[in-house]
Amino acid sequence: MASSTALSFNFSTLSTHFKQNQAPLRGICNVNSVSLPSRGIRPGSFRRLRVSCAAKPQTLDKVCGIVRKQLALPADSSITGESKFTALGADSLDTVEIVMGLEEEFGISVEEENAQNIVTVQDAADLIEKLVEQKAA
């Protein structure tokens, strides 16, 4: 049996030199997919830079609220668009419940293929806006 600890395990020493890129994408719209030639690499290979048309802040806030509630996160825990569902502790049942909550809140229907591609909170917000738009059209 594992014995009790003398000191607590420091999880932050696990990270290497990883810096999260938190560049916000708001204000950049009308660009869905941009192909940029990369330098010094084999000709014909392009790096694809995908810039999502970012959702409105209100949408993002509502999504954060639903996620926070589903995962029972403390009010002071920070959730941003870049937050990954899995990193917040959501398992598959949580994710499906969140999607259901979003459907009800926004009056939309999310197909399974789309739900599977939702990795971050921003992905969810963007998808919602897209579906809301499609519905209004």
Catalytic residues: 91
Q: Smallest distance, Å, CB 116 to other proteins? A: 5
Distance CA 38, CA 58 (A): 36
Q: Smallest distance, Å, CB 44 to other proteins? A: 23
Look up residue 74 and give its two tokens: 């403390």
Q: Which of 28, 77, 54 is nearest to 125 (CA)?
A: 54
Q: Smallest distance, Å, CB 95 to other proteins? A: 9
Contacts of 31 (CB under 8 A, 6+ apart): 51, 53
Which chain residues interact with other proteins by CB under 8 A?
1-9, 11-12, 14-16, 18, 20, 69-70, 77, 83-84, 86-89, 91-93, 96-97, 100-101, 103, 111-113, 115-116
CB-wise, 5 or 45, nearer to other proteins? 5
CB-wise, 3 or 43, nearer to other proteins? 3
Distance CA 1, CA 115 (A): 41
Q: Smallest distance, Å, CB 126 to other proteins? A: 18
Contacts of 103 (CB under 8 A, 6+ apart): 109, 110
Do the Cβ atoms of 132 and 55 come closer than 8 Å?
no
CB-wise, 23 or 113, nearer to other proteins? 113
CB-wise, 20 or 30, nearer to other proteins? 20
3-class DSSP assignment, residue 63: helix
